[in-house]
Amino acid sequence: MAKENGLGWTTFTVADASSVAQDIRDDVTELSFSTPRGVQDVTGIGVSAHERLLLLADLSYDISAVFDPGSDLMHEVFSTIPSTSVNRAIANVVNGKTLGPCNCLLTDYALTRSATGEFTAKVPAVLADGAVPTWS
């Protein structure tokens, strides 16, 4: 199997406040996500190396986007973050591999206008409902 790049993302949807998945791929300029597991140290005093147990699974996203006020695009999806408390399904597909949809809480809609004129947003998201994030 050949190694692949992250070009040509085929799916990146985020649900709006009405739970309708919106394709915002063309507004997203950078994306990071992580699926960490908690770890409990259970090392007894009779051993010389760590013993650990895996604990709960988690998921977090950091989404960077260019401001786009169009209908069903990034601003319309994210502008309701401060005024609604709903889970948002996020799904992505790259190189035929799918993560999600996973229900997340979007925790901020931070907008920045730089000195050179760029108008961008940063949106963090965290797992909301206890469902284990799974790749398929």
Per-residue pLDDT tens digits for 52-81: 999 999 999 999 999 999 999 999 999 999
Per-residue pLDDT tens digits for 76-122: 999 999 999 999 999 999 999 999 999 999 999 999 999 999 999 99
Stated as kind and residue range, the H or E segment containing 75 is helix 74-78
Which among 11, 17, 41, 13 has a CA at the least distance from the CA of 105?
Answer: 17
Q: At 34, which amino acid appears?
A: S
Predicted TM-score (pTM) of the model is 0.90
Rg of the chain's alpha carbons, rounded to an integer? 18
